[in-house]
Chains A and B, each alone.
Chain A
Amino acid sequence: MTRRGSGRLAAGLVSPTLVVLALVVAYPVISAVRLAFYRREDGIDPETGLIRAGERFVGLDNFAEMFGGDSTGRFLDALANTTTFTLAGVSLEVVLGVLMALVMHRAFRGRALVRASILVPWAVPTAIAGLLWRWVFQADGVANDLLPGPPVLWTTDGFQAWVAVVVADTWKTAPFIGLLVLAGLQVIPNEIHEAARLDGATGWRAFFSITLPLVKPTLLVAVLFRVLDTLRMFDLPYTLIGPGKEATDTVTVLAFEEAVTFGRFGPASAYAVTLFAYVAVVAFVFVRLLGADVLGSRR
């Protein structure tokens, strides 16, 4: 077979995949972007009270409202929450996740049990985790019983609600980082550790000079996944704290409220598109600056 012939064959073979991708990825994204420039008619016929049907093109109005209109305050709040959740949550998760991985990597009796139990939070659906933590954080819940001092109203609007979400998110997703880092640890040959020990490296030194650098590629990919995931956090603030709270609303919560509760798909799409752009920029910067090897091209 000639080279051109095999090229055509290859194109033919991947075309079903391309069609599927176009249908489930390209079309919805383009459609959502288009919607961000439209708004539903909401005028009411004064005689019958019926809503006039249809939608109209509003240009950049939906975005203007976010960046300099009535919803600016809420949007900037949500953007700040989204960002701080990501920074605080992912930092905590990395530290705890690496610790978990080190524990799971050790050979000791009952290791299988520890591994399984560390992974349980990751297996719990996030919305359910949110409800469980709501139970923990309610006014007469476990959290207030364990903590000294007067009861904290965790689920009311304020910094404490933000803390509650970070705690629940860390509990839920540190195992994910632990799992990926564990996989990274397991491919480090034992000889390297033994050689380091022979050279006199112990404890911290061995961890920071040997283990961490070798596990870094895996860790970076895990962190990238978590950052992208946390930037679109929805379930925890929504189920644990409830929508409409200044301290915990994320951009996704606002988009959900606009689309599903108010039926205003234009502004909702504007939120979603903005978040999409934000996530894309963060991912790009992450890959460029930290050199996360997402596609495995450097192997």
Chain B
Amino acid sequence: MGKHGLVVRISAAASALVLGVSGCGSESANPDSPSPPALAGVGPITLVTGKDFSGNLQHQLDEWNGQHPDQPVQLIELPENADAQRQQMVQNAQTRSDAYTVLNLDVVWTAEFAANQWVVQLPEAEFPLGSLVPATVDTARYFKRLYAVPMNSDGGLLYYRKDLLDAAGLTAPKTWSEMSADCAKVLPANPGVSCYAGQFEKYEGLTVNFAEAVHSAGGSVVGEDGKPTVNTEAARRGLSFLVDGVRTGEIPQKARTFKEEESRRAFQAGELLFQRQWPYQYAKAQATDGSSAVAGKFGVATLPGLSGPGVSSLGGHNLAVSAFAKNKRSGLELIKFLTGEQQQRANLEKTSQAPSWASLYDEPALVARFPYLTELKKSILGAKRRPAVVKYQEVSVAIQEAAYGAMSGTTGVDQALATLQGKLDALTR
């Protein structure tokens, strides 16, 4: 059984490899053409996305199907885990399958999918890019060409225990040192509450938190010219915020096991005074069915930074058209439909997902319903993307390695960053 299993595993890997290799063999479009090739083909299409928790996506697609009976769209839901989604999309591309038409890509995948020509270049003139949040549109470009259109956005927020701060006569902190000072005032009277946590398990979330810390200290991970810049004083201060937090106990030790959901449970159980988290937590923490101990007791603010407001990492998803799809024109039209103002508004109202349409953040009626929109807009407008590099996965793993080692105390901050700089230099060469 043992040996046989190994063989089966290798054979599975090998067959994937063979397909992958044959998949890289030919060039589809002329890569030098400045304007995108015209997209043709009208007919049935698919929309491939991670698990849709809101349940609203199918409603949107039903509406499209009603309007376009000749080009129905079928929803293909992939697992919840982002890595698993990416793996399936990559495998679909490597086998040159036409099963996927429109891909819902995480913002950090654009470069990889574009450089491998797994998605096609899109005609900019056909989309109202000017009405979308500019930072989100940037994530959809690669080498100045548009490969996707922002479907929704996401930005980190500082969740804080308003009840505890109010009791001490404090307001939400703007800087890390204010946050420390607030903790020193509030925590002694509240045993069992820790100062701050984010997502520090060794996974993509740690890359997000590391990039935020570095950007919030005025540094960058990869500079404008595409060269890594982590062996700098600013990056050192950013990482030190996280490392010193763990060392002094302001960040509880167990936060090193936190992903989004673990940190959400800790905040909802009332174990944290401050927490870095995505907007999705707002509705859950506000739930009054007994699942949250902090309903009505918390507020949100922009992330704090070294000497002023901090910088969030930009999250969100973009829609792209698979290079191997048959009905690319229909796919393009579906993207227009889903990223249009009407659907963006309806989706926000039903799911509270952050839209990519800029004006929605300022509508009084929507702000009244989703009080975090104002802070979220600030967060997204000031947000910086994670490195837009083709080898993003390797870059992200290298960042996680450095940050995780430094936060667990096995490597010094300087050494971790020097090693990281070397790795990133090699990966972005």
Contacts and interface: CB of A to CB of B under 8 A. Distances in A.
B14 interface: yes
B178 to A, nearest CB: 28
B2 A228 contact: yes
A44 B11 contact: no
Contact of B17 (A32, A47, A140, A257): A32
Contacts of B397: 244, 257, 261
Interface string A213-252: 0000000000011111101100000000011110000001
A108 interface: no
Contacts of A224: 2
B10 A32 contact: yes
B13 A153 contact: no
A188 B27 CA distance: 67
Nearest to B12: A28
Contact of A35 (B14, B31, B262): B14
A49 to B, nearest CB: 4
B6 interface: yes
Nearest to B25: A53
Nearest to B27: A53
A50 B118 CA distance: 11
A151 B202 CA distance: 19
A252 B262 CA distance: 27
Interface string A107-147: 00000000000000000000000000000001110000000
Interface in B194-223: 201-203
Contacts of B254: 139-140, 151, 153
Contacts of B12: 28
Contacts, number: 147
A48 B32 contact: yes
A269 B13 contact: yes
Contacts of B262: 138-139
A25 B14 contact: no
B18 interface: yes
A229 B6 CA distance: 8
B13 A272 contact: yes
A232 B401 contact: no
Q: Which of A139, A255, A262 has the most CB of B within 10 A?
A: A139
Nearest to B83: A261
A93 to B, nearest CB: 14
Q: How large, as a class, is the contact surface on chain B?
A: 35 or more
Interface stretch (B229-237, B281-289, B341-349, B388-396): B388-396
Contact of B3 (A28, A35, A42, A283): A283
Interface string A248-276: 00001001010111110100110010011
B143 interface: yes
Secondary structure at the B interface, as helix, strand, loop or mixed, is: helix
Interface in B237-264: 253-254, 256-257, 262
B115 A272 contact: no
Nearest to B84: A260
A48 B2 contact: no
A155 interface: yes
Contact of A229 (B5, B116, B117, B201): B5
A18 interface: no
Given A262-B393, A265-B17, A45 B31 contact: yes
Contacts of A227: 2
Contacts of A272: 9-10, 13
B160 to A, nearest CB: 22
B202 A50 contact: no
Contacts of B391: 42, 262
A242 B202 contact: yes
Interface string B13-47: 11111101100111100011000000000000000
Residue among A31, A40, A255, A269 facing the most chain B CB atoms (10 A cut-off): A31
Contacts of A231: 2
A278 B210 CA distance: 38
B114 A49 contact: yes
B171 interface: no
Nearest to A38: B21
B6 A276 contact: yes
B161 to A, nearest CB: 19
A51 B3 CA distance: 37
A133 B6 CA distance: 25
B1 interface: yes
The 8 closest A-B pairs by CB, nearest first: A228-B2, A28-B11, A49-B143, A139-B254, A28-B14, A32-B14, A31-B14, A265-B17
Given A49-B390, A265-B16, A272-B13, 20 more contacts: A28-B10, A28-B15, A29-B14, A32-B10, A44-B390, A48-B32, A50-B31, A51-B117, A138-B262, A139-B262, A156-B257, A228-B2, A242-B201, A242-B203, A255-B13, A261-B83, A265-B20, A269-B13, A279-B2, A283-B2
8 contacts: A50-B116, A51-B116, A232-B9, A244-B400, A263-B393, A265-B16, A269-B17, A276-B10
